[in-house]
A and B are shown apart, each in its own frame.
Chain A
Amino acid sequence: NAGVMQNPRHLVRRRGQEARLRCSPMKGHSHVYWYRQLPEEGLKFMVYLQKENIIDESGMPKERFSAEFPKEGPSILRIQQVVRGDSAAYFCASSLERYGAGANVLTFGAGSRLTVL
């Protein structure tokens, strides 16, 4: 019973390149959340998705960042034309239901650490 799987665990990109981060939620979970963590800071919400739908992207920068959660396959966070300030740990989390008894806990993946040179 695998947990939330994120890959790659570490990614190095040069400025201007694209970064793609993948997240496979726990089996049976249809709600996916992406968070960003800068060094020595807490997690900042980026986007909340359900299968094929973006529900809330209020935390995601308007430019260069996009996220998807297709009907088949993992959720992908895509960062185009990366800059040094994008260097951070990106965490994916999933939950069973949107909100309700027994469904409130987000299970996190191990994170993907992006370094932009």
Chain B
Amino acid sequence: AQKITQTQPGMFVQEKEAVTLDCTYDTSDPSYGLFWYKQPSSGEMIFLIYQGSYDQQNATEGRYSLNFQKARKSANLVISASQLGDSAMYFCAMREARGRDDKIIFGKGTRLHILP
């Protein structure tokens, strides 16, 4: 069963508009972490934002915010005032740690295109 689902393979957004990238997850573990990473065309993985399952408030990092809805098991990334440099692949990921098992599982990604 897929643990991280990103339903938008690609998105086109006008520059300066806000963007919401969808992510739903599946876990029975009460303790987990959710991440978003950006992968530009150059290929590196850039950490954007983290949300812990027990965090009371939605995480924010500059223009990035994570809309965490625990009951719905969703962790959407919101990018405000999009810029051309935001064009990239975006991956949602979840980290579970049970006993010795500890890994981050990634979704398939959403390719975001910012239009001038």
Contacts and interface: CB of A to CB of B under 8 A. Distances in A.
A56 B35 CA distance: 21
A63 to B, nearest CB: 21
A42 B109 contact: yes
Q: Is the interface of B mostly helix, strand, loop or mixed?
A: strand
A104 B109 contact: no
Q: Is the interface of A mostly helix, strand, loop or mixed?
A: strand
6 contacts: A33-B104, A58-B103, A98-B102, A104-B95, A105-B47, A111-B44
Interface of B: 33, 35, 37, 43-47, 50, 52, 91, 93, 95, 97, 100-109
Given A111-B43, A111-B44, 8 more contacts: A42-B109, A43-B93, A45-B103, A45-B105, A59-B103, A98-B102, A107-B47, A108-B47
The 5 closest A-B pairs by CB, nearest first: A108-B45, A99-B97, A42-B106, A43-B106, A104-B33
Interface of A: 31, 33, 35, 41-45, 48, 55-56, 58-59, 89, 91, 93, 98-99, 104-111, 113
